[in-house]
Amino acid sequence: MTVKSKHVRIKGIKDGLIFLLDDKCPFEDLLSELRYKLEHSHQNILTGPIVHVDIKLGNRTVTEEDKEAVLEILKGQGNLLIRSIEALPAPGSEDNDALFLMSGILRSGQVLHHNGNLLYLGDVNPGGTITCSGDIYILGSLRGMAHAGVDGNEEAIIAASLMSPTQLRIADIISRPPDEWETRESSMEFAYLTNGAMQIDKIHNLVKLRQDLNVFKGV
């Protein structure tokens, strides 16, 4: 590979960087050029304070392993904080139930967005924000803000091992936490909408909720 390759473009935006990855070239070529630019031609972006990064994979079919390969290259750089990774699914290949896996600690002032359903292994601290177009599952403490169904999906849910948020939001419905959040049982719960109002339930009741919804929709 030569330095003249243009498979990876890096654009600066107001609050971070966007990595635009060519969707026409072989995936291995993408990884090679991404690694090269971070290690050689674009080392200047790796110095200084934390930089939020959004990754755009274009219109290509990618597996979770492909996404993880990209993340592994970027996560090796100490000041790059991955905020989102997006790929437009090929026609007929979209899996609405797929879960994208990420891990870490979301600290105050940090925002993580994902298009689709997200399984986040780690804590969302006060002042941290996590948003998704689909469901949010947090295997950790949710003490910040979570917004599921950001594109208007009222069937999205928010689940967490410890539910103690500053704010929950599903689609356009906002629920500020009641005073008893801190005294709730330490078991995994999920938030969902019913008749335009937000409800909280134990995670083991999620399957029944989804089954009832499918019956109602005639699926």
131 and 186 co-located in one domain:
yes
70 and 143 co-located in one domain:
no
Question: For the chain, which residues score pLDDT lower than 50?
Answer: 1-4, 90-94, 180, 215-216, 219
- Only one residue has tokens 């990774």, namely 85
* Per-residue confidence (pLDDT) for residue 92, from 0 to 100: 47
* Per-residue confidence (pLDDT) for residue 159, from 0 to 100: 94
Q: Are 182 and 165 in contact (CB under 8 A)?
A: no
Say which amino acid occupies 173: I
118 and 219 co-located in one domain:
yes
Q: Decide which of 46, 78, 94 is a domain's last residue.
A: 94
84 and 112 co-located in one domain:
no
* Per-residue confidence (pLDDT) for residue 105, from 0 to 100: 87
Give me the domain span that covers residue 156: 96-219
Count Cα atoms within 13 angstroms, Cβ side, for 205. Answer: 10
